[in-house]
Amino acid sequence: MRRILAPLAALTVLLAVWHYSVFFFSVDPTVLPSPADVGSALYTGLVRGTLHVHVLATLKAAAMGFVVGCCAGVGLGVLLGEFRVGARFIFPVVVALQAMPVVAIAPLLIVWLGIGTESKVFLAAIVCFFPTFVNTFSGMHASKSELLDLYKAAGASRWLTLRDVKLPSAAHFIFTGLQIAVVLSLTGCVVGEFIAATSGLGYVIKSLAGQLDVSMMFAAIFTLSALGMACGLLVRTLHRAIVFW
Amino acid sequence: MLRVTDKLVSLLAPLFTITVLFLTWYAAVTLFKPPSHLIPSPDDVLLRLWSGIVGGDMLPHIGATITASLIGYCIGVAIALSLAILLTEFPVLENSFYPLVLCFQSIPKVSIAPLVFVWVGFGMQSQVALVALICFFPLFTSAFAGLKSVDPNLSNMFRVSNAGRLHTMLHLRIPSAAPQLFVGLEISASFALVGCVVMEFINATQGTGFLIVNSSNTLDTTTSIAAMFALGILGLISSALVRAAGQKIVFWHRPATNIVNLAPRSAL
């Protein structure tokens, strides 16, 4: 009970402070709109539906990128986890790439793939690849050595060991990676949309900045955060349901 | 002897991979001859990077990125550390502020970039503000967790010997949080560059991100890729510096070798 009430109370206090400070200091709404303004912007955006196209565009690109990037990440992670020699050649390179700001490739993707959905899907996939790959790879080494020895002693095939021992123990790690990736996929999409797009939440946020419509920007940012939280929750629920042990 | 060859292999293997990648790129470009505004050949890119750094036309951009991310990083780190210390020292503050911080954490920070731009305006301040904001969260969460996870035996001993609050903080809490702190610092360092580049995509007239966007727009893909290489090198150097500092300062803690830190890379 307290765990739900305390954040709610904090949120109420935050909203009140926000509302009254805007009210008392009569802040310019192009700098900081009042919560009521943001609320009405959210209403026009989500209920009347001016934001629907953009939410759908971002969600679609992020979801496709997530699926592609995570399949690649998990696939390569499992593959390298099985073949240790290959891992020594590739894993350090991937880790080094992780220290680099990968989103910097966004403008190039636009040149290569155009301003449509493809470039966002690709960027989201690249961004999702890294956490899933690193987590899968680490998870492949997390199985109990006694269990591995047992399977070896019983003459189990490589495939059987992978399916019965390694993958189950890696599952927890894989889902941790997926949970990081799902939020990053939205981020990747938004960065792509900042640069060049014709729809999507990132495009909306950026073009509203030009019109100084800050309350709608807040609404779009809140929508994006809610999307991120919802997707995170979805992955967490799947995690609990699939990795029940 | 075995350990020496082992080290040599783990050093040479990734180099080999990179060489193979470059050679494939080179071979593909010489074979298929794509237009250079789509895929330039790797030697052109490296030459462009060389002339950009030695000739100096890329240096102001790289310098702008380094300055903005460094200042933003320092500000974000200072705020995160002091807030984490405050919140762990005073439970009242923890109960009221920690949920709020978690609430803000779920906002994808780069999506705020245009808002920061509206608030702070053209110029480097915007980059600094976004970088500080982005760096704050990973460091705050890891510092908070680190400061909370003090060995209860030690903490009791400090209390028994009547150690003051400041003394306990300096000699017990911060040292025991240090390994976690450096994990946070390293993640923040790689986030700093991302934040800076995204902001430069949006508003800047200078900086590596601006150079990438601008040369992509003029279909000067060679410069664009060269600038990306420069950024990648910056990222490598910064995270290597933070890691080296961590190993020097937290000399008593040996991180598990070969397994990359699985600290939650909280959303950007």
A60/A178 same-domain check = yes
Contacts A202 to B, Cβ<8 Å: 111
Domain CATH code at residue A232: 1.10.3720.10
How many domains does chain A contain in total?
2
Inter-chain CB proximity A221 and B115 less than 8 Å: yes
A119/A18 same-domain check = no
List, for chain A, all residue ranges whose pLDDT scores fall below the cut of 70.
1-3, 7
A23/A122 same-domain check = no
A37/A76 same-domain check = yes
Contacts A108 to B, Cβ<8 Å: 212, 216, 221, 224-225, 228
Tell me the count of A-B CB pairs closer than 8 A. Answer: 168
Closest in A89, A112, A221 to B13, CB measured: A89
Contact A178, A110 (CB under 8 A): no
Inter-chain CB proximity A187 and B108 less than 8 Å: yes
Q: Among A13, A20, A62, which Cα is nearest to B111's?
A: A62
**CATH C-level class of B40-249:** mainly alpha
- For residue B255, what pLDDT is reported? 58
Q: Which domain holds residue A1?
A: 1-30
A99/A149 same-domain check = yes
ipTM of the complex: 0.85
A129/A14 same-domain check = no
Contacts A92 to B, Cβ<8 Å: 10, 13-14
Would you give per-residue pLDDT tens digits along chain B (268 residues)?
567 787 888 788 888 889 999 999 999 998 988 888 888 989 889 999 999 888 888 899 999 999 999 999 999 999 999 999 998 888 878 877 787 787 777 788 888 999 998 888 888 889 999 999 999 998 998 888 888 888 888 888 888 888 888 888 888 888 888 888 888 898 899 889 999 999 999 887 888 999 999 998 888 899 999 999 999 999 999 988 998 898 888 887 765 543 444 444 555 6
- For residue B127, what pLDDT is reported? 92
Closest in B9, B108, B115 to A190, CB measured: B108
What is the rounded CA–CA span in Å between residue B113 and residue B108? 10
Contacts B119 to A, Cβ<8 Å: 31
Find which of B111, B193, B213 to mutate to test the A interface (most A CBs within 10 Å of its CB).
Answer: B111
- For residue B257, what pLDDT is reported? 42
Residue A131 to residues B63, B145, B262, Cα–Cα distance (Å): 29, 21, 9
DSSP one-letter string for chain B: -HHHHHHHHHHHHHHHHHHHHHHHHHHHHHHH---TTTS--HHHHHHHHHHHHHS-SSHHHHHHHHHHHHHHHHHHHHHHHHHHHHHHH-HHHHHHHHHHHHHHHTS-GGGGHHHHHHHH-SSHHHHHHHHHHHHHHHHHHHHHHHHH---HHHHHHHHHTT--HHHHIIIIIHHHHHHHHHHHHHHHHHHHHHHHHHHHHHT-SSSHHHHHHHHHHTT-HHHHHHHHHHHHHHHHHHHHHHHHHHHHHTTT--PPTTS---------
A19/A39 same-domain check = no
- For residue B211, what pLDDT is reported? 92
Contacts B13 to A, Cβ<8 Å: 88-89, 92
**Does residue B118 belong to the interface with chain A, where contact is any CB pair within 8 Å?**
yes
**Does residue A18 belong to the interface with chain B, where contact is any CB pair within 8 Å?**
no
Contacts A206 to B, Cβ<8 Å: 114, 202
Inter-chain CB proximity B103 and A10 less than 8 Å: yes
Inter-chain CB proximity B114 and A191 less than 8 Å: no
A111/A197 same-domain check = yes
A129/A49 same-domain check = yes
Min Cα distance A150 → chain B (Å) is 24
Min Cα distance B55 → chain A (Å) is 23
Instruction: Give the pLDDT confidence of A52-61 residue by residue, as tens digits.
Output: 899 999 999 9
**Does residue B93 belong to the interface with chain A, where contact is any CB pair within 8 Å?**
no
Inter-chain CB proximity A225 and B107 less than 8 Å: yes
**Does residue A229 belong to the interface with chain B, where contact is any CB pair within 8 Å?**
yes
Inter-chain CB proximity A134 and B190 less than 8 Å: no
- For residue A3, what pLDDT is reported? 66
A94/A137 same-domain check = yes
Inter-chain CB proximity B106 and A214 less than 8 Å: no
**Does residue A216 belong to the interface with chain B, where contact is any CB pair within 8 Å?**
no
Inter-chain CB proximity B118 and A209 less than 8 Å: yes
